[in-house]
Amino acid sequence: MKVGAMKVEINGESREIDDDAETAVELIRDGLGLTGTKLVCGGGVCGACTVHLDGRPVASCLLPATALDGHALTTVEGLGSTPEHPFQRAMMAHDGLQCGFCTPGFVMAGSAFHDRWRAENPGARPDREQVTAALSGHLCRCGAYEGIIAALQGACAGEFDEPAGAPPRVEAAAKVTGSARYTVDVTVPGMLHGLIVRSQRAHARVDRVDLVAALAAPGVSAAVDLLGEDRTVRYHGQPIAAIAASTPATARAALAVVAVGYTDLPAALDVTGAEGAPVVYTDKAQRKAAPSSAEGPPPLPTWWDGNVRGPATISLRGRRAVRMLDAAAERADPGYLAATFRTAAQAHTALEPHATLADWRADGTLTLHASTQAVAHLRDAVAARWKLDARQVHVVAEHVGGGFGAKTAMTTDTVAAVELSRAAGAPVRVVLDRAEELIDGGSRPGTRTELRMLTDGDRLTALALDTYGDGGVSIGSQVAALGAFGYGRGPRRLRDFDVVTNIAPSCPFRGPGGAPFAWAVEQGVDELAHRRGEDPIALRRRWDGNRKRHALYDTASALPRWRNRGPAASGTGRFRRGVGVAAANWFYFLDGDTRVALTVRGGRLLARCAVQDMGTGSRTVIATAVGEQFAGVDVDVEIGNSDGPHGPMSGGSRTTPSIAPAAVAAARLLREQLRQRVGGTAAGADGVRTASGVRAWPEVLTTCEGALVTGERGRDRGGFLVPFLSMDHMRIGRGMSGSVQVTEVEVDTLLGMTRVLRVWSGLAVGRIWVPRLARNQAEGSVIQGVGFALYEQRLHDPNTGEILTSNLEDYRIPGIGDTPEIDVHFYEQGWEHVPGGGIGLGEVATIAVAASVGNAVHHATGWRPTELPIRPDRVLEGLAR
C-alpha cells in the first residue's frame, strides 16, 4: 500500500517521496535506486542493510519505510563517490573485504563508530574486543574479519585521515563506496519480477498446477510450470512453477493464489533409517537424473540398494587391508584404531543469493545477468538446455557476492528466469530470498565415516574408510576416496556410499569431501599419536611423503604455542586451553584453455578474460601479472562477461593458476610485438605510448598453456601437467598442495562452549601473486572452517522434511566476535614445474581447520569429539562420560 508523501533528507538532499514500499530497505533500493544498501537476511541479523538515520546506524530491513519521514537518511553513497571517509580508506588499505556484498554495511557501522570514537577518545586506538563489539551485528560469509578489525583500529587511530596509496585490490573503491554492481542490483527497462512456487510436501505426485487465477491477476505477465514430465516432488521446497509480475508485491500476491494438487507419497526423512524406508528413486532413469554433490566429473556408476547407493570403491590392496585390520582388532593391537565420525550438512549461504535476470529477445538472443561462479560454463549450459547456439547467449556477472561452490552450475533461479522471460517476452529477474537460499541454495552433505587404522609406529600400515554421504536427494559422496592421496601407500580399502532421503539437495562446497575426510582421518592420526605418547606433528611428518608439507611441519613444531603446550588434559579449573594440529592436501586443478586478450588503448593496457570475481581477486591477479611485464603502465581489466576469451570457472582452486600464467604469456607476446612493430627496445611504457598512436592496435591472445610455449620455464610441456583427467576444460596437474593448521582453543567446562583463540595456518602452494589478497583468502578459509567445527548445522523437521534453519538466526555462521587471531604462513617453494610457479589455495586452507579444532578440544579436556558441530551440549555430555 502507499505510504503517503514523506519528506526525507537523503544524502544531504531534501526529497518528497510517495512510494508503496513497506520497509526502508525496499524504498532505498527499489524506490530510490541506491543499491549500495544490500538486503540479505531481512531479519536484522547480518547488518548488510545498515544506513545512518540522523547519524545513527540502523538496520533498514527492520525499519518501516514510514519511519524515514522527517529524518535525515545517509546511505553508503552519501559518504562520497570516492572513498573519502577514513574508514573507507582503511578498508581498502587493509583489504577488509572479499566479494564486497557485506562491505557497505560494515562501512556504515564502522564509520559511525569511528566518528564517535574519535570525538570521545582523540588519538587512542581501540582494542580488538572494542572493535568486534561495535561490529557484532554484521556478518561476512567470506570471513574477511581480520582486515576489517585492522582497518577500524587504524582509522580510529588517525592513520587514514589522508588518502593512502593504491590499495591491494583493484575494485576496492567500488566496493567500499557501494558502486560495485551485483546481479541483484541490475535493472533494465520493462523488467518483471519473478517468484518461484515451491513444494509444501517432502514427497508427492503433483496432480494439478493451476496457474489460471495467478495469470488473471493485475500486473502478472507470465506463469510457467517448472516440474517437467516426472510430475513428482522429492523434497520440501522443490520448485514447481514460477510467476512474473510488474512488482515484487504483485508477484507475491499472485503466488498466493496458485493452486497445487498433491497425492502424498511416503517420504524417507531419516538417514539412519535407510533400510526399509520409502524409496526416493524407483527406476534407473530417476537415479541417473539425481543431482550430484560432487565437483568435476559425474559420480562413478555403482549399485543401488533401495535408498543406499554404493559402494563406490577405491582399493589399494583392499582385501589385504581388511585382513590386517581384522587381525589387529582380534589381537587388541595397540596400533589399531576404530571409530565413527559424523559431520552435519553445512549451508553455503553466500550473502548475495542466487539471482538471474534473463532477457530473451525477439531476435533469438538471450542475455543473462547472473550471480554465477562460471560465466562461460553457464552460457554453454543454457545454450544446451534451450537448444541455442552458444553465440546467442550472453552471460554477465560484473561482481559476484560469494559462491563457495553453490554457483558453479545452472540453478533453479536461472531456469525460472529464462522460462518466464521467454513466456512474457520481457526481461525477468528472479532473486532467491534468504529462506530459499538456505533451503535450496546448496549445502555440503552431512557424513558418517567409519574409520579403521593400523600403524606399526613407523608408518600407516592399513586403512579402511566407509563414508555414508547425507546429501538429501543428491548423490556423489567422495570422502573416503580421498584416502588414496596421503600418508604413504599402505594397503587401504576406501568405500563411499550415498544415503538418499527426501531432503533438499546438496552441491559442491569448498574442497568437496575434504573437510569431512580430515575430520575423521586427522583425528584418527592424532589419537594414535596420543596413545603412543608421541608428538602428533612428528608422527605426521614421518608418515607423510609430501616434502613441501615437511617444511610446514618443521615451522609448526617450532611455534612457541606448540612447544609449550604440555600434556593432554593437564589443565584445571573451569576454562581449559588446548592446542591441536591437523594436515591436509588438495589437487592442483588447471583450466589450460584459459585465454587472456591484451591490447593497447589510450596509453593504457586492456586485458580481457571470461573469468568472474566472487571475491578471490581475479581482476587484481590479471592486472598484477600483466603489470610485471609493463612496469609503470596502467592496466584495465574486463572480466565477468562470457563474450570475452575463455576463462576458468571460479571453483576447484583453479582460477589464479589459470589466469595468471595466461596473462603473463599475453604480456610477453605483446612486448615482443611492440619491439617488432614500434622498433628498438620500446617494449614497456614507451612502447605502449607509441602504440597508442597506431589505429586499431590488434589484440594479443594466448592461453594459459601458452606460457609454456613462450618459454616461461624453458622446459618441455610434458614436465608441467599430467592431464590424466581432462573434462570441461579442467585438468589435474602434477603434485598436491599442502596445509598444516595449528589451533588453540579454550573450553568452558561449565557451559560447554568452545572458543578458538589462535590459528597458525601453513600453506604450501607455491608462488603467491598478490600476498594481501591471498592472506585474506586463507583467513576467510579458517573462519569457514571454524564455522563448520563449532556452529553450522542444517536441520529439518523429522516429520515433514521442511528445513528449519531457514534464516541467519537459526543457521549460525561465524561473526566478527568469533574470529581468532590468525597467522598465515606461505611456503612458496616446490611448484617451479607449473605455469606461473604456484597453485590455488582457497580449498586446502579450510579442509583441516575443523579437525585441528577437534584435536585441540581433546588436548584441552581429554574428551575426543566425534560429531560436528562441537555444540555445548555435546561437550558437556562428553566431559560427563
Q: What is the DSSP string of 509-536?
A: -SSTTHHHHHHHHHHHHHHHHHHHT--H
User: How many angstroms separate the CA atoms of 809 and 806, rounded?
Assistant: 8
Model pLDDT, residue 714: 31
Domains and CATH numbers, the chain: 5-79 (3.10.20.30), 86-180 (1.10.150.120), 528-588+734-880 (3.30.365.10), 593-712 (3.30.365.10)
Q: Is 849 helix (H, G, I), strand (E, B) or coil?
A: helix
The residue behind cell 545452472 is 410
Cell (9 digits) for 453? 587404522
Phi, psi of 8 (to 5 degrees): -135, 135
User: How many angstroms separate the CA atoms of 598 and 701, rounded?
Assistant: 6
Query: Among positive and negative, which fits the CA dihedral 728, 729, 735, 740?
Result: negative
Low-confidence spans in the chain with pLDDT less than 50: 1, 695-696, 705-724
Name residue 337's beta-bridge partners. Answer: 453
Model pLDDT, residue 710: 36
DSSP symbols for 101-125: SSHHHHHHHHHHHHHHHHHHSTT--
Assess contact for 514 and 467: CB atoms under 8 A.
no
Name residue 730's beta-bridge partners. Answer: 591, 727
Model pLDDT, residue 455: 97
The residue behind cell 557451559 is 751
Count CA atoms closer than 13 A to 7's CA, side-chain side: 2
E-assigned strand segments in 36-191: 50-53, 56-59, 72-74
